[in-house]
Amino acid sequence: MAAPVITTSFTADVQNGNPPFDVQFTDTTQITDGFARFWFWEFGDGFSARGIKAKHSYSKNGDYQVALMVFDEFGANSRFTKTITVSLPVSCGMSGTTCALSTATMVIMFLGLAVWWLRRRRKLDSDS
């Protein structure tokens, strides 16, 4: 009998976002001639879990290498990693608010401000 071949893999319901950032991981490992007995997850931030599924919350900015190690009933194992990216929102500098404006919106706002400034300057010039 040939030794089982383990092809470890998993899915993450999301792979990037802003903290706090919750991710649900699900094992999708394929094993020929056997079945998985044990799952060990490492989340790349010092935390780990066991089980076919795992949920983890990331609270800090960074790229995290998430690893899943799967063991079959004979003790053979395989490891798979995937990167999860956590990014802090960009600060607009106004009391910790975050920028969620598209580039087009910002261009329109800038043009509106420029028109206002030109009108105000004309008015001031005509008053002198």
Whole-model pTM: value is 0.66
What's the pLDDT tens digit per position in 80-90? 999 999 886 65
What's the pLDDT tens digit per position in 20-53? 889 999 999 998 888 889 999 999 999 999 999 9
Q: Which of 70, 74, 5, 9 is nearest to 33 (CA)?
A: 5
Averaged pLDDT of the chain: 83
CA distances from 17 to 43, 55, 68, 123 (A): 15, 15, 21, 47
Return the pLDDT at 28.
Answer: 94
**More confident call, 90 vs 79:** 79
Residue 59 structure tokens: 């609270």
